[in-house]
Amino acid sequence: MTIAPEAPARPAVPEFLELEITGRCQLTCPSLCYAKAGPTQDHGSMSGADWQRLISEAAEIGVKKVQFIGGEPTMHRHFDALVHHALAVGLGVQVYSNLYRVRLEH
Protein backbone atom coordinates (compact mmCIF):
# COMPACT_ATOMS: atom_id res chain seq x y z
CA MET A 1 0.00 0.00 0.00
CA THR A 2 1.24 3.49 -0.85
CA ILE A 3 0.32 6.50 1.24
CA ALA A 4 0.45 9.86 -0.53
CA PRO A 5 1.49 12.84 1.59
CA GLU A 6 -1.12 15.50 2.15
CA ALA A 7 -0.88 18.58 -0.03
CA PRO A 8 0.24 21.63 1.93
CA ALA A 9 -2.62 23.89 3.02
CA ARG A 10 -0.92 26.86 1.38
CA PRO A 11 1.53 26.61 -1.53
CA ALA A 12 5.10 27.61 -0.68
CA VAL A 13 6.12 31.07 -1.87
CA PRO A 14 9.57 31.33 -3.43
CA GLU A 15 12.02 33.55 -1.55
CA PHE A 16 13.24 35.16 -4.78
CA LEU A 17 12.72 35.18 -8.52
CA GLU A 18 15.33 35.27 -11.26
CA LEU A 19 14.00 37.41 -14.08
CA GLU A 20 15.85 36.84 -17.35
CA ILE A 21 14.76 40.08 -18.96
CA THR A 22 16.92 39.96 -22.08
CA GLY A 23 19.06 37.77 -24.27
CA ARG A 24 21.11 40.74 -25.43
CA CYS A 25 24.72 41.10 -24.27
CA GLN A 26 27.67 43.16 -25.48
CA LEU A 27 29.96 40.13 -25.35
CA THR A 28 30.19 36.95 -27.41
CA CYS A 29 31.18 34.08 -25.12
CA PRO A 30 29.52 31.06 -26.80
CA SER A 31 31.46 28.46 -24.83
CA LEU A 32 30.89 30.18 -21.47
CA CYS A 33 27.39 31.66 -21.72
CA TYR A 34 24.65 29.50 -20.22
CA ALA A 35 22.00 31.79 -21.76
CA LYS A 36 23.42 31.80 -25.31
CA ALA A 37 23.21 35.60 -25.14
CA GLY A 38 24.92 37.99 -27.49
CA PRO A 39 24.80 41.29 -29.37
CA THR A 40 22.25 40.05 -31.90
CA GLN A 41 19.77 38.60 -29.39
CA ASP A 42 16.61 40.45 -28.41
CA HIS A 43 14.65 41.28 -25.28
CA GLY A 44 11.96 38.65 -25.82
CA SER A 45 8.23 39.12 -26.12
CA MET A 46 7.40 40.61 -22.70
CA SER A 47 6.82 44.36 -22.60
CA GLY A 48 7.96 46.64 -19.78
CA ALA A 49 4.37 46.64 -18.51
CA ASP A 50 4.34 42.81 -18.52
CA TRP A 51 7.51 42.72 -16.40
CA GLN A 52 6.13 45.33 -14.01
CA ARG A 53 2.91 43.36 -13.59
CA LEU A 54 4.88 40.18 -12.86
CA ILE A 55 7.02 42.06 -10.30
CA SER A 56 3.90 43.48 -8.61
CA GLU A 57 2.24 40.07 -8.47
CA ALA A 58 5.40 38.52 -7.02
CA ALA A 59 5.46 41.12 -4.24
CA GLU A 60 1.74 40.57 -3.55
CA ILE A 61 2.21 36.84 -2.94
CA GLY A 62 5.18 37.35 -0.64
CA VAL A 63 8.31 37.10 -2.78
CA LYS A 64 11.09 39.05 -1.04
CA LYS A 65 13.69 39.61 -3.77
CA VAL A 66 14.14 39.69 -7.53
CA GLN A 67 17.32 39.07 -9.45
CA PHE A 68 17.64 40.70 -12.86
CA ILE A 69 19.66 38.47 -15.17
CA GLY A 70 20.11 38.06 -18.89
CA GLY A 71 22.09 38.39 -21.22
CA GLU A 72 23.14 41.69 -19.81
CA PRO A 73 20.12 43.06 -17.92
CA THR A 74 21.35 46.66 -18.04
CA MET A 75 20.89 46.56 -21.83
CA HIS A 76 17.12 46.09 -21.56
CA ARG A 77 15.36 49.29 -22.60
CA HIS A 78 13.19 49.23 -19.43
CA PHE A 79 15.91 48.16 -16.99
CA ASP A 80 15.86 51.38 -14.93
CA ALA A 81 12.07 51.41 -14.66
CA LEU A 82 11.95 47.72 -13.68
CA VAL A 83 14.50 48.16 -10.89
CA HIS A 84 12.72 51.25 -9.56
CA HIS A 85 9.37 49.45 -9.71
CA ALA A 86 10.71 46.44 -7.81
CA LEU A 87 12.10 48.71 -5.10
CA ALA A 88 8.84 50.70 -4.96
CA VAL A 89 6.80 47.55 -4.25
CA GLY A 90 9.19 46.59 -1.45
CA LEU A 91 11.35 43.96 -3.10
CA GLY A 92 15.08 43.55 -2.65
CA VAL A 93 16.94 43.77 -5.95
CA GLN A 94 20.05 42.04 -7.24
CA VAL A 95 21.51 42.62 -10.69
CA TYR A 96 23.73 40.01 -12.30
CA SER A 97 25.85 42.02 -14.73
CA ASN A 98 29.07 41.48 -16.64
CA LEU A 99 29.95 45.07 -15.57
CA TYR A 100 31.10 45.91 -19.08
CA ARG A 101 30.44 49.61 -19.72
CA VAL A 102 28.20 50.24 -16.73
CA ARG A 103 26.36 53.53 -17.16
CA LEU A 104 26.66 56.15 -14.42
CA GLU A 105 22.90 56.08 -13.67
CA HIS A 106 23.13 52.35 -12.94
pLDDT (tens digit per residue) in 18-57: 999 999 988 888 677 777 788 888 888 999 999 999 999 9
Its pTM surpasses 0.75: yes
pLDDT recorded at residue 5 = 73
Q: How many residues does this entry show for the chain?
A: 106
Cα–Cα distances (Å) from 18 to 6, 14, 26, in that order, read: 29, 10, 20
Q: How many CA atoms, within 13 angstroms, populate the side-chain half-sphere of residue 45?
A: 0
Residue 23 to residue 34: CA distance in whole angstroms = 11
